[in-house]
């Protein structure tokens, strides 16, 4: 009788414990996420394919774009524009930054705008620093506390369907959610 009670008691303790341990196990998205080197504004963040430094960040309700041959245009946003100034250097071979996104505290991820050519599409040459900007259009509520994520470095025509366990850069932008009337960027020359 005592042995039976001990068995039932052990089961009553172990089963919830097993459930709790299974819940603590990270899911596959977390296990395979890119391995990020983190940094802050002004700091050079090193990864195997390139080093990246955020030189500055600004947000505004309208974007003034200086394009090719001195042509300028103004773009209103359905949300807010965030322009991130970057300096990037390839370390060993020609490479582009790849997937450049802003991650809001609520988990939503925003791709760099495809309206203009930003530094994200420029091919970086080894040892030669290149400065430029990348613009994002996102809802105003997502700006405060957003983090810059750079992953999936792009080597020529190599297609990478996933950035699993690849190199990445993660930089907190310290945005407070306020937006100036206008923010400016210069299109990258690819």
Partner 1 sequence: MPRMRQRAWFWFAAIAAVILLPVAIAWPLGGLADAARAEPARYSLGQPIKGQRHHLVPRRAVFTTKDPSPAFGVPRKGRFVVLDLEVTNVSSLPSLVSQLSGTLAVGLDGRPAGPVLDQSVVRAGGRAGDVLNPGIPETVRLSWEVDEAPERMSVAVTDEVREPSWSLLGYASGTSLWYMGETPMGVLETPLERE
What is the dihedral sign for C-alpha 113, 95, 55, 187?
negative
Hey, how many other C-beta atoms are within 10 angstroms of the C-beta on 82?
A: 28
* 138 binding partner 1? (CB under 8 A): yes
* 139 binding partner 1? (CB under 8 A): yes
Q: Which is nearer to partner 1, 109 or 123 (CB)?
A: 109
For residue 139, report the phi and psi dihedrals to the nearest 5 degrees. -60, 145
Residue carrying the six token digits 């430094």:
53
Pairing of strands 50-66, 147-151: unpaired
* 149 binding partner 1? (CB under 8 A): no
Cβ distance 96 to 122 under 8 Å? yes
Choose, by CB under 8 A, the member of 61, 79, 122, 155 that binds partner 1. 79
* 114 binding partner 1? (CB under 8 A): yes
* 190 binding partner 1? (CB under 8 A): no
* 116 binding partner 1? (CB under 8 A): yes
Using CB under 8 A, list all residues that contact partner 1: 27-29, 31-32, 73-75, 78-79, 101, 106-111, 113-116, 136-139, 142, 162, 164
């Amino acid at each position: 009788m005592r042995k039976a009670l001990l068995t039932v008691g052990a089961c009553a303790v172990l089963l919830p414990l097993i459930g709790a341990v299974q819940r603590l196990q990270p899911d596959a998205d977390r296990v395979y996420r890119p391995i990020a080197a983190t940094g802050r504004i002004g700091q050079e963040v090193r990864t195997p394919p390139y080093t990246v430094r955020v030189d500055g960040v600004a947000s505004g309700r309208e974007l003034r774009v200086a394009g090719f041959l001195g042509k300028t245009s103004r773009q209103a946003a359905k949300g807010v524009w965030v322009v991130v100034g970057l300096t990037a250097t390839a370390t060993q071979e020609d490479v582009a930054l790849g997937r450049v996104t802003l991650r809001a505290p609520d988990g939503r991820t925003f791709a760099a705008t495809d309206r203009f050519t930003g530094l994200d599409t420029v091919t970086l040459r080894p040892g030669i620093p290149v400065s430029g900007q990348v613009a994002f259009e996102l809802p105003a509520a997502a700006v405060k506390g957003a983090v810059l994520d750079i992953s999936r470095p792009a080597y020529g025509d190599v297609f990478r369907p996933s950035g699993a366990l690849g190199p990445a850069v993660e930089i907190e932008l310290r945005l407070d959610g306020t937006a100036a009337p206008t923010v400016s960027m210069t299109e990258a020359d690819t």
